[in-house]
DNA sequence: AATTCGGGCAACCGCCGCAGC
DNA sequence: AGCTGCGGCGGTTGCCCGAAT
């Protein structure tokens, strides 16, 4: 079945090329070109298979190959191209003069892939990671706040509070990511959003998920029960949650229209109307007299203009100092 | 100074698509 | 239509070298 591999011939050399072999190959190609890689090795006096010669030429000896580190521009271009083309290294190479597909592939696998992972971006989908392994980092982070590891109680308390806050931020971030990036996940988001209320019993899975995370955080922070947690969430964090719910619901409902209402503490905070795919969604504050809702409405209204299509960037403007919202964590989770 | 370990990268391998017969 | 030859592609391997122990 099929043909035999070109390198099946016994006695052909493999492995790294010597300077002498390089010289022979270059001289031959400069004189005669490379019409037939199959015949080239014999004609050039090389004990290699044609494939090996071609690879050596295209990946190393070609005169137009650029050497040295990838520039920031090249790096960005590779990431952009990868988000569109996927692992089409040769197609990417045509857009990067002087770079070979092999070089780009290696650079992606050894540098860029890791870089994206460290930034919390899935290198395959180029979207924020939704897998719960993100919480693995939490396990490493939180034990540092344990009393036993520190001599100064004040520092320990501060660290622990910071860790708790960080932990909450990560929980919210991941919930947002689940909401915004997993339309095919176990979460019945269509049902969730279609039911037009965040205080709806259909949120049970969401709540269950949240409790699991809270349990993880509590057990990580204190082996003897739950700790005193700050009662507020960063305002921008929650505002971003709203933005993303809005953007997500818009993307899911814009085709046939619909309405999404958001309730806080049992009080209707917002409703988003998407009558048709062509008309712009409207944002209506349900209880403008409420202070924290007023505050959030300001953010949400401004973002409403910009929240058009995915991908979302929920944390790009997160300000850790802005912890002014009196929206309760427990209320959010429960 | 010797050894181990891990990252980076060149090269290989296997498969695919296309063209010619 | 099926076979063969070939170039090309993407995944993987394994060597080399520098850092860490």
| A57 and A84 together in one domain | no
Let me know if residue A125 belongs to a domain.
no
pLDDT at A10: 63
Let me know if residue A56 belongs to a domain.
yes
| A255 and A216 together in one domain | yes
d(CA A315, CA A317): 5
| A44 and A144 together in one domain | no
Per the structure, the complete domain to which residue A250 belongs is given by: 132-333
Mind listing the pLDDT tens digit for each residue in A204-242?
A: 333 443 444 344 333 333 333 222 223 333 333 334 444
What is the average pLDDT value for chain A, to the nearest integer? 54
Mind listing the pLDDT tens digit for each residue in A279-311?
A: 333 333 333 333 332 333 323 222 232 222 222
Q: How far is the CA of A86 from the C1' of B16 (A)?
A: 18
Distance of CA A156 to the CA centre of its chain: 32
DSSP state of A310: S
User: Residue A110 belongs to a domain with what CATH number?
Assistant: 1.10.10.60
Measured between its terminal Cα atoms, the distance across chain A in Å is 63
Nucleotides of C under 7 A from a protein CB: 4-12, 15-16
CA-only gyration radius of chain A, Å? 28
pLDDT over 80 at A140, yes or no: no
Cβ atoms of A268 and A199 closer than 8 Å: no
pLDDT at A31: 86
Q: From the Cβ of A67, is strand B under 7 Å away?
A: no
Of the listed ranges A12-21, A93-102, A142-151, the one predicted with least confidence: A142-151
pLDDT at A143: 35
Let me know if residue A1 belongs to a domain.
no
Number of domains in chain A: 3
| A180 and A316 together in one domain | yes
Let me know if residue A260 belongs to a domain.
yes
Average pLDDT value for residue range A261-280: 36
d(CA A234, CA A176): 14
Let me know if residue A127 belongs to a domain.
no
Burial class, A299, CB count within 10 angstroms (exposed 0-12 / middle 13-18 / buried 19+)? middle
| A110 and A253 together in one domain | no
Task: Output phi, psi for A248, to 5 deg.
Answer: -65, -50
Let me know if residue A233 belongs to a domain.
yes
Q: From the Cβ of A42, is strand C under 7 Å away?
A: no
| A234 and A262 together in one domain | yes
Task: Output phi, psi for A259, to 5 deg.
Answer: -145, 140
Let me know if residue A2 belongs to a domain.
no
| A21 and A110 together in one domain | no
pLDDT over 50 at A322, yes or no: no
Q: From the Cβ of A111, is strand B under 7 Å away?
A: yes
Let me know if residue A88 belongs to a domain.
yes
| A103 and A136 together in one domain | no
Mind listing the pLDDT tens digit for each residue in A51-97?
A: 899 889 988 888 888 878 899 889 989 998 998 888 899 889 988 98
Q: Which residues pair with A212 in a beta bridge?
A: none
pLDDT over 50 at A177, yes or no: no
pLDDT over 70 at A40, yes or no: yes
């Amino acid at each position: 079945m099929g043909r035999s591999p070109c390198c099946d011939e016994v006695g052909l050399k493999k492995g790294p090329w010597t300077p002498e072999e390089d010289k022979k190959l270059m001289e031959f190609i400069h004189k005669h070109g490379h019409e037939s890689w199959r015949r080239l090795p014999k004609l050039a006096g090389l004990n290699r298979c044609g494939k090996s010669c071609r690879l050596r030429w295209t990946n190393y000896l070609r005169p137009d190959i650029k050497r040295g580190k990838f520039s920031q521009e090249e790096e960005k271009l590779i990431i952009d191209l990868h988000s569109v083309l996927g692992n089409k290294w040769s197609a990417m190479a045509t857009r990067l003069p002087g770079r070979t597909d092999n070089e780009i592939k290696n650079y992606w696998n050894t540098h860029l892939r890791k870089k994206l992972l460290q930034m919390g971006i899935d290198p395959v989908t180029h979207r924020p990671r939704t897998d719960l392994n993100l919480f693995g980092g939490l396990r490493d982070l939180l034990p540092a706040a344990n009393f036993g590891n520190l001599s100064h109680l004040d520092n320990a308390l501060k660290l622990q509070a910071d860790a708790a806050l960080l932990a909450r931020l990560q929980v919210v971030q991941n919930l947002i990511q689940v909401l915004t990036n997993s339309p095919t996940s176990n979460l019945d988001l269509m049902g969730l959003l279609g039911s037009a209320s965040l205080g709806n019993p259909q949120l049970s899975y969401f709540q269950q998920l949240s409790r699991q995370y809270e349990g993880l955080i509590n057990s990580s922070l204190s082996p003897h029960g739950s700790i005193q947690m700050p009662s507020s969430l960063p305002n921008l964090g929650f505002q971003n949650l709203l933005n993303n719910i809005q953007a997500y619901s818009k993307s899911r409902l814009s085709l046939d229209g619909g309405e999404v209402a958001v309730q806080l503490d049992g009080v209707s905070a917002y409703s988003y109307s998407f009558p048709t795919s062509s008309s712009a969604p409207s944002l209506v504050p349900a209880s403008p007299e409420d202070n924290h809702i007023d505050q959030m409405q300001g953010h949400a209204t401004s973002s409403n203009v910009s929240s058009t299509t995915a991908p979302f960037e929920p944390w790009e403007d997160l300000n850790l100092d802005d912890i002014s919202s009196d929206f309760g964590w427990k209320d959010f989770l429960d």
